[in-house]
Structure 1
């Protein structure tokens, strides 16, 4: 009897499974994808649950699957879901909850924005913000604690520079941290002081920890709120996956929780930050991914130097506008080698932040030695930013199978100061996308949000035009380094997926891959290139589910 009951329930279980599987067909679309590295157009796509069944190429008869949900795409453009290969998700989420100082026009403008925020958020024990950039101010000078002190004599204020490599504190914040004229910066950091030796309130790179150690860290609940808000915002911009560049064990636990709850709006490929708490133990456990592939950790993030704007990037020779100053290495060579060796031997991809030519050369040297020792060339190690390169080092990316993880909007943001910092000769190896591509290197595109806007169409526009949103300079900044439209889209899709060891999962729309895609009104390949940055996402789908919609596309049946 029990045996008969068991047998009779099998067809019911199969039927139940079949009923749960939903097939969707979206037709009448202007689709673009990559097949065998070539750009291909298509007119319809069908998928069941989270997996693509078939892509119908131009002229191919569309077969409607039985009981499929059919959606009329109304001629809209479909692209593979865009991937940001270098962003900071939790930081971005918290930035949405703090003072936004991006594009402030002066120190006073930044102070006034901070005052407005503080009035709207009176319960905050610290006033925190990010986004100022003194290079965009007419005086081109670092800000001073005094301008904040007038408005905030009793409440501590800490405002990070746009690149995250410098911070601006008021006197109350410095007093809480015990900062005086006698305070010395740690290795890899700098305390900016005036002519009398008094701290001005600006702290560079590792010196920022002197202030941040006094700030109460966000609670897990606050981090969760920030993550959820960030992922929803990123999806609205057309991002279906992000490589989170520098997370800790607590963040991994939080992502796992969100995944178990079904609250991962987009895919996250996390890089474990070295050094962070118990990082060795985390690496010893090996790479990790959830069953639904919404979250994975198979790489580490190391920082070699600072940023160019704050003169923290490590250069071989002096800054052209600061004689006697070559920038900062955040770790000595021996420590960097230890981190790299440990991670490679544990089977993790190593992704190292390097901006200055000295930092890039050093990391390539260390990689070359470590890859040979660990036999890990297949892990596709990366240099994050790869911003200023000695010309002779450019071919080494391809020969070492090292990926250049670059952010196009850094070039258009930095163009006003990069030549001043580097001079006419070194700039030829900076933001050198064409030189890298011509040497057969792979470029994985990102934005480095919240340093830059996470909007991937800003990055596509910058890659293709080498211009800002005012279409300047005419013809493009060092225009010989432009990408084609196809190359730019590859860098935000299949090449970014390759950089995360996920090219068999996402990055293009093909049978067997995940149904991650976006719908747009404009056609990336026919619209005026000057307008690409203005592209608006109509819908974003991740794993076969619509996670963002600016409009409702009606079903055909």
Structure 2
């Protein structure tokens, strides 16, 4: 675990008081343009517009027009000044505590050369002399003029008095200095762990880059965080997400300690987001958690009913497991983080316990492996489908074309993150070649084959702003509107399809559709007020939408006057 310390000023932000509106009385919101999906998830869903909404006891009592004034004459009125009102957005794959930690640590995202990256780490270290470890995240060598991995010597030149541990942007590689290697006892004789790799120089010495499970060789030596710091990171992450208009997150890989932290926050009325926690399959307490069964808090703020399993690594660090070798590294097939025989036993265990399965799969090999294991489970079902269980493949990033229809046939949900495509487009085709790219980041092919996509970001791998993901899905462009025609634009989604994936479809994919995901009567009043109407905004400007207020269960949990 990582040790995090931060200044008193930052801690003060964690305990900032909310100023919720009273939700005991009826609330009438008016003078806005509102949108919600109605009906069930998927393509049969209808988009409904409205100008008035009544909230009672934290739930939607009515949506409609000016007639609601007469129907609810005693309701407290709130004039939204002509703004746009949308259902609260759902991120179907993120990491809340890691996000909070990231916001506290040194952020290396988007820096376009090695020298500037090292300089930022050194400046952070100089400004935080009390830290025993220098920890950060976000470097990406694919953005640098020379895309070779950095080395421990790059860090040693400026920071040699403390160990340094820097996680790559995709969280599947770590860059460390010599002191960190020495503290972990890693040298030329240290074997690669199963599912991981120690990158070595020509003489066999560690270069300072650790891939996938090898990251833990150093990561496990970092002192454990205190409860105060751990909860503080959760609160920092939560505040950030609420400001971005997210009202619900599926937290992808939570330990027993993390589950207990979320429960404690909810009991203390500090959990303002709805959290659907995926239990980390690597947690030593997994058997006991499954035995306890699915958990849903009375206020529907916390659900535990999903197991996150780890298939392979990431494409950028060449850890994604491929059927054929990497096009730019012909001796490398990538890595399986979890051995195949263990995958089978985990699938059977979680399925028999009634838990939803979420399997991380980037490469075409790991996606096919998961589909094959799901097919074994489906053979035991009368209709040959697992649709009722809503099992998922997280990322579904590189998939053989013949495997895409299997998602629908087996009833498997692809949980996909649009900004991964626009972040990876500078290197993806180099990694896998022209032929395999046809099944990569292939949202249109999935939808046309009948899949219901759960949209997300994988924050903090990507930025958590959901409108960045909505923009990427619709345009297949980055926020500089490049490429001009979009990267493989034939795989773009419509705005309606994308908004569904971040609202009603996302709720359905997390078994939360009965109480969230749309502003239908009886569901919780989870909604946001934004500065412009996305359905009347140019696609290229969708990423510019700004959230003005966020409400969860009728309670205003974020507001700005901008």
TM-score for the superposition, normalised by structure 2: 0.93
Which of 357, 360, 385 is 1:353 aligned to?
A: 360
Q: 1:524 to 1:451 in 2, by over 3 A?
A: same
Does residue 52 of structure 2 align to residue 49 of structure 1?
no
Measured after TM superposition, the shift of residue 511 of structure 1 is 0.4
Which of 459, 474, 479 is 1:469 aligned to?
A: 479
The answer on whether the counterparts of 2:52 and 2:68 sit within 8 Å (CA) in structure 1 is: no
Map 1:79-94 → 2, pairs under 5 A: 79-94=86-101
1:316 paired residue number: 323
Secondary structure, aligned partner of 2:81: coil
Q: Distance in 2 between matches of 1:61 and 1:212?
A: 57
Measured after TM superposition, the shift of residue 262 of structure 1 is 0.4
Measured after TM superposition, the shift of residue 60 of structure 1 is 5.5
Which of 23, 33, 36 is 2:26 aligned to?
A: 23
1:495 paired residue number: 505
Q: Distance in 1 between matches of 2:334 and 2:404?
A: 21
Q: Distance in 1 between matches of 2:521 and 2:128?
A: 50
The answer on whether the counterparts of 2:23 and 2:58 sit within 8 Å (CA) in structure 1 is: no
- Map Cα deviations across residues 471-502 of structure 1 (whole Å, 9 max, x no partner): 01011110011010100100000000000011
Does residue 424 of structure 2 align to residue 417 of structure 1?
no
The answer on whether the counterparts of 2:170 and 2:314 sit within 8 Å (CA) in structure 1 is: yes
Q: 1:460 to 1:20 in 2, by over 3 A?
A: closer
Name the Cα RMSD after superposition: 1.3
Measured after TM superposition, the shift of residue 451 of structure 1 is 0.2
Q: Distance in 1 between matches of 2:377 and 2:81?
A: 52
1:453 paired residue number: 463
Measured after TM superposition, the shift of residue 372 of structure 1 is 3.4
Secondary structure, aligned partner of 2:524: coil
- Map Cα deviations across residues 353-387 of structure 1 (whole Å, 9 max, x no partner): 00000000010000111233378541100000000
Q: 1:20 to 1:315 in 2, by over 3 A?
A: closer
1:338 paired residue number: 345
1:39 paired residue number: 47
Q: Distance in 2 between matches of 1:92 and 1:383?
A: 22
- Map Cα deviations across residues 493-547 of structure 1 (whole Å, 9 max, x no partner): 0000000011111111010000000001111011111111111100000010000
- Where structure 1 has 5 or more consecutive residues not aligned to the other structure, the ranges are 1-18, 553-557
The answer on whether the counterparts of 1:371 and 1:377 sit within 8 Å (CA) in structure 2 is: no
Secondary structure, aligned partner of 2:258: helix
The answer on whether the counterparts of 2:471 and 2:543 sit within 8 Å (CA) in structure 1 is: yes
- Map Cα deviations across residues 431-465 of structure 1 (whole Å, 9 max, x no partner): 00000000110100000000000000000000000
- Map Cα deviations across residues 97-135 of structure 1 (whole Å, 9 max, x no partner): 101000111111111111121122211100000000000
The answer on whether the counterparts of 1:313 and 1:327 sit within 8 Å (CA) in structure 2 is: yes
The answer on whether the counterparts of 1:515 and 1:541 sit within 8 Å (CA) in structure 2 is: yes
Q: Distance in 2 between matches of 1:257 and 1:271?
A: 17
Q: Distance in 1 between matches of 2:264 and 2:375?
A: 37
The answer on whether the counterparts of 1:56 and 1:62 sit within 8 Å (CA) in structure 2 is: no
Map 1:276-425 → 2, pairs under 5 A: 276-373=283-380, 377-425=387-435
2:495 paired residue number: 485
2:18 paired residue number: none
Q: Distance in 2 between matches of 1:20 and 1:44?
A: 17
2:15 paired residue number: none
Q: Distance in 1 between matches of 2:52 and 2:209?
A: 55
Does residue 203 of structure 2 align to residue 196 of structure 1?
yes
Q: Distance in 1 between matches of 2:224 and 2:487?
A: 41
Secondary structure, aligned partner of 2:376: helix
1:7 paired residue number: none
2:217 paired residue number: 210
- Map Cα deviations across residues 218-275 of structure 1 (whole Å, 9 max, x no partner): 1221110000111011000000000000001111111010000100121100000002
2:151 paired residue number: 144
Q: Distance in 2 between matches of 1:371 and 1:451?
A: 32
Measured after TM superposition, the shift of residue 61 of structure 1 is 5.6
Q: Distance in 2 between matches of 1:259 and 1:268?
A: 10
TM-score for the superposition, normalised by structure 1: 0.94
Number of matched residues? 533
1:3 paired residue number: none
Q: 1:20 to 1:178 in 2, by over 3 A?
A: closer
Q: Distance in 2 between matches of 1:524 and 1:381?
A: 31
Which of 442, 460, 466 is 1:432 aligned to?
A: 442
The answer on whether the counterparts of 2:390 and 2:413 sit within 8 Å (CA) in structure 1 is: yes
1:167 paired residue number: 174
Map 1:247-262 → 2, pairs under 5 A: 247-262=254-269
1:181 paired residue number: 188
Q: Distance in 2 between matches of 1:89 and 1:373?
A: 36
- Map Cα deviations across residues 69-95 of structure 1 (whole Å, 9 max, x no partner): 101111111110000000000100110
1:10 paired residue number: none
Q: Distance in 2 between matches of 1:20 and 1:328?
A: 51
Measured after TM superposition, the shift of residue 401 of structure 1 is 1.1
Secondary structure, aligned partner of 2:210: strand
